[in-house]
A and B are shown apart, each in its own frame.
Chain A
Amino acid sequence: MRFMIALLAATLAAPALTPAAAADLDLRFTGIETPTGAIMAVVFANEADYTAGKPVRAMMIPVKDGAAAQVVSGLAPGRYAIKAFHDIDGNGQMGVNPFGQPVEPFAFSNDAPGNMGPASWSAAAFDLADAGAVQTIVIK
C-alpha cells in the first residue's frame, strides 16, 4: 500500500504534455463521504508508466458539495488509467497508519478494485476516443 506515497511523489513531479490531437476526459468523483479537502488524481498513458508511477497528468480537484469533477483536456486519444486518493485533511499527502496502510479513501479508473496493492492496468485502463470519454469513479 506504500504505492500511494509513490503516487503522490509522482503527482508533484508530473510534467504536463500537450499532444497534437487532443480529446477531453471528463473526470467525476462520487461517493465522497467526508466533504473536505481535494481529490488527488493522476493519469497514466501506458502500463509501464502506470506501474512505475509516471503520470502524464496530475491534478488536485477540490471537493465541493460532496463531489469533485474536472475536465482534463489536451490528451491524445488512446488508452489511459487513473489512480486517485481523497486528501481529506488537505495536507497534500496520502494518509497512512503507522504500518503504511492507507487511511484516506483511494480509487482507480473503472472503479477497478485494488487487491493487496493497486488495481491492475488491465482492470483500470479505459479508451479515450477522439470524441472524449467520461470516467465516473466512486471514492469512499
Chain B
Amino acid sequence: MITLSRRELVTSAAMAGAVLACPDALLAATGGAAPWTLGVGDIEADIPLQTLRRVHGKAPAGLAGTLYRNGPAKFRRGGTASGHWFDGDGLMRAFTVPGDGTATLAARFADTPKRRAESAAGKIIMPGFGTPAGAGALVTGPDDTNAANTSVILAGGELLALWEAGSATRMDPETLETRGFKTFRADLQQMPFLAHPRIEPDGRIWNLSLSGKSALVWRLGADGALQAAQGIKLPRASYLHDFTATERHLVIVLQPWIQDRMRLPYVDSLSWRPEQGTQVLVVDKADLTKQRIYELPAFAFFHLGDAWEESDGTIRFDGCIEADPTFGATSARELVAGIHHPAPMPILGMIALFTDGRATLTPSGTAAEFPRSNPMLAGKRRSATVHVGTYRTDRPFAQAVGVWNWARGADDSHDFGGDHLVEEFVLVPRPGARSETDGWLLGTTVNLKARATELHVFDAARVAAGPIVSWRADVALPVGFHGNFAARQG
C-alpha cells in the first residue's frame, strides 16, 4: 500500500486538476503537443510549386482557376513567440486547378518589414494585435508591424495581401513575389485597409479604414483604381474586423468591444461593455452623410455575411454571433502556445433592420464561422451561406463545412471528422450558373492523421454527398484565414 503524505496528496490533487483543466498546456509543457497544434505550426521557408496528389474523386469539368488563401504561418523565433494567432507572418498560398484534372500548390511569405526585422533579430519583436513589442522593435508607422496575413483579393492585376491595421501588400499573382505596400494615393499612405472589402458583382470594391471613432470609406473600381476616399465618424470606437453591404448601403456593426484606452498590444486596449448593446450604422453608398443607427442586444463577432435589401427597405444579413469576445481576447492568444481555451461558440444568426427603426437578431442554432456566399449575388437577396462548423469541446477549429439555407432553415453539410481542421470554403459559381448553389465549394483542411494540407471540391448543392475530389499536399500548412478564387481568364 502506498501512503501519501498530506503534501504529496495536495500536490497530486492539484496536478490532476491541472490535467483536467488544461490538458493541451500540460502536453505542450511536457513536449507532447496535442495533434491540433499542427494547425498553428511554423513554416520555415516558401513552398515551391508542387503537384498535389489526388486522394479520391475526379475534378469537375468547368472549374479552372486559382484559390488564393492567406494566413499566419510563422509564429516563433529564438525562444520567443507571437502573442496571438492573428500576429503570425502571412503565407500566401495559391491552390491552382488548371482544368485538366490536376491541382498544384505554391506558397510564399509576404516579404514585410516585420518579417525582415524579426528574421534579422532572430526573435519575435514587432507589436501586433496581441503581441507586445519586444526589445529592438522599431516602429515608425503601422506598416512596420504589418503581418499581411488575413485575406487576399485580386484587384487591377495585382494580388493584394490584406491586413486590417495597415496597407494592403502587393504581390505578383503568378510568382507570389512581394512588390511592396499598396498606396492608392500619396496622402493615403499607410491608411489601414480592412481585410474584408465588399465586392459588388460588377467588381466595384468598398472597404473601410478604422481608427477609434474615425473611419475612411474606400471605393475602388473593378480595375482596382481608387474612385473615392471619404471620412466618416462612428458613434463608438468598436473593434471592427468586418462590415457588410447591400446594393445601396454599407452596414457597419459596432459591437460593444470598445477601445477605451491606448495600450499595446492592441487587444489590451479593448473593453467588453455588454451593457452598451450592439449598434448598427447604416450608411448610404451614394451619400455617406446619410446615416441611420439601429440598436441590438450585445454580441461579439468577427464575420458577417453579404447583406441585401428588400422592396420595403428592410435590410437583412447574417453573421457569426458570439456571446462575448473570449475567442479574440483570450483563446486566440493561447492557441499559439498550444493551449485550447474554450470560448462561446459562434452561431450563425440573421439580423433584420426594419424601416421603422426596429432591429432583430434570429439565431439559426447552427455553429458557424467564415461565412461566404455566391459572389454574383453580393448585395442582392440570397438564402445560402457557406460556413465551417461542428466545433469540438476538446480542441479548437471546425471539422465540418456546410451551406446553411435561410429559406429552408436547414444545413447541407459534410463532417470531415476529428482528424481534420477545416478552413474557409468559398463558393465558385459554375460558368452560366442558374441558381445560387449552382457551382462548387472550394476549400482546404489540415489532415492531422496524414499531417498534410488537403484541397477539396464539393458540389455546392450537394455538400452532404462529400467531396467530388480531394487532393493532398506533401506539407501541412497551418490553418489559414481567408481567400478568394480567381477564375482562369479566357
In this complex, what residue of B is CB-closest to A116?
B139
B17 within 8 A of A: no
Q: B465: CB under 8 A from chain A?
A: no
In the complex, which residue of chain A has the Cβ closest to the Cβ of B212? Answer: A99
**Contact B140–A114 (Cβ < 8 Å):** yes
Chain A residue contacts of B192, Cβ below 8 A: 99
Beta-carbon contacts of B172-201 to A below 8 Å, as 1s and 0s? 000000000000001111111000000000
**Contact (Cβ within 8 A) A98 B214:** yes
Expressed in whole angstroms, the minimum distance between the Cβ of A20 and any Cβ of chain B is: 39
Determine if A103 and B139 form an interchain contact, defined as CB atoms under 8 angstroms apart. Answer: no
Q: Is the C-beta of B216 less than 8 angstroms from some C-beta in chain A?
A: yes
User: Closest approach, in angstroms, between the C-beta of A104 and any C-beta of chain B?
Assistant: 9
Cβ contact of B188, chosen from A98, A102, A115, A116, cutoff 8 A:
A98
B-chain residues with CB within 8 Å of residue A102 when the two chains form the complex: 141
Q: Assess the B214–A113 pair: CB atoms within 8 A.
A: no
Interface residues of A in 64-108 (CB under 8 A from B): 95, 97-99, 101-103
Expressed in whole angstroms, the minimum distance between the Cβ of A114 and any Cβ of chain B is 5
Residue of chain A at shortest CB distance from B189: A103
B142 CB-CB contact with A under 8 Å: yes
Interface core residue of A95, A99, A113 (most chain B CB under 10 Å): A99
Please tell me which one of the listed residues A95, A98, A101 contacts residue B141 in the complex, with CB atoms under 8 A apart.
Answer: A101
A97 contacts B188, CB within 8 Å? yes
- The 8 Å CB contact of B187, one of A1, A95, A114, A116, is A95
Q: Are B139 and A101 in contact (CB under 8 A)?
A: no
A101 to B190, CA, bound (A): 7
- The answer on a CB contact under 8 Å between B141 and A113 is no
A137: min CB distance to chain B, Å: 15
Query: Which residue of the partner chain A has the closest CB to B210?
Result: A99
> Does B211 reach chain A (CB closer than 8 Å)?
yes
Chain B residue with Cβ nearest A34: B186
Distance in angstroms between the alpha carbons of A114 and B137 in the assembled complex: 11
Expressed in whole angstroms, the Cα–Cα distance for A74 and B33 within the complex equals: 68
Number of interface residues of A (CB under 8 A): 12
- Name the contact of A103 in the complex, choosing from B137, B190, B211, B216 (C-beta under 8 A): B190
B138 at the interface (CB under 8 A from A): yes
Which A residue's beta carbon lies closest to that of B230? A98
- Contact between A98 and B231, CB atoms less than 8 A apart: yes
A49→B209 CA distance, assembly (Å): 35
A123 shortest CB reach to chain B, Å: 12
Nearest chain A CB to B453 CB, angstrom units: 37
User: How distant is B215 from chain A, measured CB to nearest CB, in Å?
Assistant: 10
Q: Contact check, A99 vs B140: say whether CB atoms are below 8 A apart.
A: no
- In the complex, chain A residues whose CB is within 8 Å of the CB of B187: 95, 97-98, 103
> Which residues, 128 to 146 on B, are CB-close (under 8 Å) to A?
137-142
- Chain A residue numbers with a CB within 8 Å of B231 are 98
A103 and B186 contact, CB distance less than 8 A: yes
Instruction: Choose from B139, B189, B209, B211 the contact partner of A115 (Cβ within 8 Å).
Output: B139
Q: How far is the CB of B261 from chain A (nearest CB, A)?
A: 16
1/0 per residue, CB under 8 A from B, across A97-139: the answer is 1110111000000000111100000000000000000000000
- Rounded to whole Å, the gap between the CB of A88 and the closest CB of chain B is 8
A10 to B209, alpha carbons, bound, how many Å? 31
Provided the pairs A113-B138, A115-B139 are in contact, do residues A98 and B216 lie with their beta carbons within 8 angstroms? Answer: yes
- Contact at A101–B138, with CB atoms within 8 Å? no
Q: In the complex, what residues of A have CB within 8 A of residue B138's CB? A: 113, 115
Contact B211 A99, beta carbon cutoff 8 Å? yes
Q: Say whether A115 contacts B140, CB under 8 Å.
A: yes
B residues in contact with A97, CB < 8 Å = 187-191
Give the distance in Å from the alpha carbon of A116 to the alpha carbon of B140 in the complex. 6
**Within the assembled complex, what's the spacing in Å between the Cα atoms of A115 and B133?**
11
- A98 CA / B190 CA spacing, docked (Å): 10
B191 partner, pick from A1, A95, A98, A116, beta carbons under 8 A = A98
Can you pick out 10 interface pairs between chain A and chain B where the beta carbons lie within 8 Å of each other? A1-B141, A97-B190, A98-B209, A99-B192, A99-B214, A101-B141, A101-B189, A101-B190, A102-B141, A114-B140
Report which B residues bind A (CB closer than 8 A).
137-142, 186-192, 209, 211, 214, 216, 229, 231
Known interface pairs A98-B187, A99-B211, A116-B139; 19 further A-B residue pairs with C-beta atoms within 8 A, sorted by A's residue number: A97-B187, A97-B190, A97-B191, A98-B191, A98-B214, A98-B216, A98-B229, A98-B231, A99-B191, A99-B192, A99-B209, A101-B189, A101-B191, A103-B186, A103-B188, A103-B189, A114-B140, A115-B138, A115-B140
10 smallest A-B Cβ distances: which pairs? A103-B189, A99-B211, A116-B139, A101-B190, A97-B191, A114-B140, A113-B138, A115-B138, A98-B231, A98-B216
